[in-house]
Amino acid sequence: MKFILGKKLGMSQVFDEKGKVIPITLVEAGPCYITQIKKKDKNGYEAFQVGFVKKTRKIKKTEKGKEFKYLRESRIVEEDKSSLTPSSAKADSAVEETSSLFHLHPASRDSVIDVSIFQEGDKVKVSGISKGKGFQGAVKRWGFKGRASATHGTKHEHRTLGSVGTSFPERVIKGKKMPGRMGHGRATIKNLEIVKIDKENNLLAIKGALPGPNGSLLEIQG
């Protein structure tokens, strides 16, 4: 299991060997520092916590252990480990990674995680907070068709909902798609390919678009 935090820098494009244009998103990933290792016998589950972007101001005594701007946790789920067959190479690597992580000496708690844990061509899962769109109507928020093609009988209602309920039970059903706040929610995109890795500058070039505005925090898991 591979996990690192990064900051979205923006989009660009590269050319592959055949001259095809590949859209990429540049991410400044790491270096991250392991701040805490949780074990099942003590915490009830297995996980490790990483910190990203050290605070520039002086840390107070009450903030000891919180010297990072971002703290995130990555868990090892029992179901994920049991779904791997013991004879597969994938299972062997997962067991090896898990054992090397959760049987570390306490002195290695501040170990550094950087982009060297990934390789070009790896598939990753990226999570972040999507761009906020504010209060939007049903046409933009849910993709309703509206009544844009209407030629008669419609005035100032080309993008309205229409009926929101039935004669019975004479109320709006819970969960009805209606206008409201759009975006600014957690979004995850899976099976994204790492196209390029710049170890000197801690940069990852990931194929496709990633959630969130430039400068936002991203969680990258392999």
pLDDT per residue over 5-43, tens digit each? 999 999 999 998 889 999 999 999 978 988 888 888 888
Determine which helix (DSSP H) or strand (DSSP E) holds 71, and give its type and residue range: strand 68-76
Question: 123 and 18 in one domain?
Answer: yes
Q: What is the mean pLDDT of residues 194-213?
A: 93
* pLDDT band at residue 187 under the 50/70/90 scheme: very high
Domain containing 42 — which CATH number? 3.30.160
| Whole-number pLDDT of residue 99 | 45
11 three-class SS: strand
Exposed, middle or buried, 115 (CB in 10 Å: 0-12/13-18/19+)?
buried
The reply to whether 167 falls in a domain is no
| Whole-number pLDDT of residue 94 | 44
Question: 141 and 107 in one domain?
Answer: no
Domain containing 6 — which CATH number? 2.40.30.10
| Whole-number pLDDT of residue 53 | 83
Question: 211 and 188 in one domain?
Answer: yes
| Whole-number pLDDT of residue 106 | 43
pTM of the full predicted structure?
0.76
Angle at 99 between CA 90 and CA 72, to 5 degrees: 90
Residue at a domain's end among 113, 134, 164: 113
In the predicted model, is pLDDT for residue 77 greater than 50? yes
Domain that holds residue 58: 32-113
The domain total for the chain is 2
Question: 129 and 214 in one domain?
Answer: yes
| Whole-number pLDDT of residue 148 | 81
Determine which helix (DSSP H) or strand (DSSP E) holds 220, and give its type and residue range: strand 217-221
Question: 133 and 188 in one domain?
Answer: yes
Residue at a domain's end among 113, 131, 158: 113
Question: 47 and 12 in one domain?
Answer: no
In the predicted model, is pLDDT for residue 80 greater than 70? no
Question: 40 and 17 in one domain?
Answer: no
The reply to whether 160 falls in a domain is no
